[in-house]
Structures are given as structure tokens and as C-alpha cells.
Amino acid sequence: MAAETELKFHVPARKLKGLKKPLVAGSKSGAPSESDLVSTYFDTAKHKLKRHGLTLRVRRDGGNYVQTIKSGAGPQFERGEWETDLADGNLNLDKAKGTPLEGLTSGRLRRKLKPVFEMSVRRITVPLRTKRSEIELAIDRGYTTAGHRSRRIDEVELELKSGRPLDLFRVARALERKAAAELDLRSKAEHGYELADGEEHVVVSAGSIVLDAGLTAGAAFRVIARAALRHLSSNAEASARARRKAFTKCGLGCGGCAPRSRCSRRS
């Protein structure tokens, strides 16, 4: 298993072009590389894998195929990840041994798995190096498709390859300032499931928080803070949409006669 530590952001499309340069003073950027990725996510009709906190996908990168299993991200920023190469684009659940999916791979499940949604992106990858850390910046532009529905992808991911999480957050802060980036701790898969279900900007409930008895006060605070941040960022778009709807109702109700900042109507 590999544990990936990453942060994901929504970035306005017009801001993506300038992100190939160093974001933090003293850091260095390597040569960018580009690839076209097509990822197909599999689950049952009732989304059994999702209910168990797992995602299963097959990604095509040129002529190469990789099967990936990921565990859900709880209050931590890390996610478990298991990757295996495939000869073609067909699932091979025999390669799920030693992963959380192994216990679910009955013959019945194998028959019920089907593509749920697909993501096609042009990815630009830029290696970033600070004094103590190596970070990968990935710029994704493309679409998620589920049946007749589609949704645009304009995202940036920062993944800590080695070094200190502190450096990851320094780069993230610089990205926020430079590109008007909005943190989104939900995975691409979570957004894909929303699209497949015909839902948009779903309000996400707070997840449960489990604190081990041996945690120090500082460690417990970090777990709680991360869970709160995930809950906040997961509902950012739903909250913004609700505000836009309220402002629109207010403007229509007032007939556009007064600036909204001075309007006293309740939506």
C-alpha cells in the first residue's frame, strides 16, 4: 500500500496557465510533462464500494492501464492507495488481494460491477522542490461524464512526494493567493458519484471522529481540526450556490431598486 498525502483545489480556468512557475520563494520547478488520462470508475448499481469507503478505477495513460483501489479519506489528509498494472482496460479483481477490497470480491460482486462514471483530463504535471521537500503539482482540465450528464474539471492537486507536510501547506497557501484557488478535500470520485446520481452541490454531513485513547491533546486537536476543515470545504460550493440563489431572489423581489448590500429583505 502507498499512502498519498495530497490537497485538491478548484481553480478558475483563466488562472491555470500561470501555475508552471515556482509558487514559493526559494523553490524550484522541474520540466512540466503532459498526458491524456481516461479513468473509468466501477461500482455496483447500489454503490456498494462507495458505502464501504472504497473506490475502484482503471486508468488509461497512452497505451498503459493501471487498476487503482483507494480507501476513503477520513479526518486525515492521507488516503490508502493500491495500484497494479493491467494488460488492458478490463478489471482484474484477482489483483485485489491484500487490499480492503479483497473481502468484498465475491463472485456475485464481480458480476455486478459496472462502469459508473468516466473522467477524461489533460494533465500537466510539474515537480516542485523546496529546500526539504518534493511536491508534485498536477493541473487537470477536462470532463467527468456519467450517462448523458457531464461536468467540467478545472483542478489542481498538490501531492507531497517526500519531506514535510509544512512545506505542502506553504505551497498550498501560495497557490491560494496566486490563483484564487479554493480548497476541496473531496475526491474526484465523490464528485463523480454526485454526477452519476443526478445531484449537484450536495450538502455533506459531518463525519464521525474517532480519537484513540493514546493520542496527545495536540494530536487529537489536529484530527478534529482536519475533520472540521473537510466538512467546511465539502460544503463550500453548496453554501456559495445558496447565497447566489438568495441574492437573486432578493434582487428580483426588490425590482433591482437598491444595491443588495443595503437590502433588508429576507430571502
Task: Write down the pLDDT at residue 237.
Answer: 56
* 34 CB-contact burial (10 Å; exposed 0-12 / middle 13-18 / buried 19+): exposed
Task: Write down the pLDDT at residue 120.
Answer: 98
As a whole number of angstroms, the distance between CA 104 and CA 93 comes to 10
Task: Write down the pLDDT at residue 253.
Answer: 44
DSSP 13: G
The secondary element (H helix, E strand) that includes residue 31 is none
Task: Write down the pLDDT at residue 229.
Answer: 59
As a whole number of angstroms, the distance between CA 140 and CA 233 comes to 19
Task: Write down the pLDDT at residue 178.
Answer: 85
Residue 1: C-alpha distances to residues 65, 97, 145, 208 (Å): 18, 11, 29, 24
Q: pLDDT tens across 172-208, in order? A: 998 888 888 898 888 899 999 999 998 765 555 656 6
Nearest to 157 by CA among 9, 5, 33, 4: 9
Q: What count of Cα atoms within 13 Å lies in the side-chain half-sphere of residue 215?
A: 12
Task: Write down the pLDDT at residue 260.
Answer: 41
As a whole number of angstroms, the distance between CA 3 and CA 97 comes to 17
Residue spans of the chain under pLDDT 50? 75, 239-240, 242-267
With cell 443595503, the residue in question is 262
As a whole number of angstroms, the distance between CA 242 and CA 249 comes to 11
Question: What residues form DSSP beta bridges with 221?
Answer: none
Residue 75: C-alpha distances to residues 46, 176, 207, 216 (Å): 25, 22, 8, 16
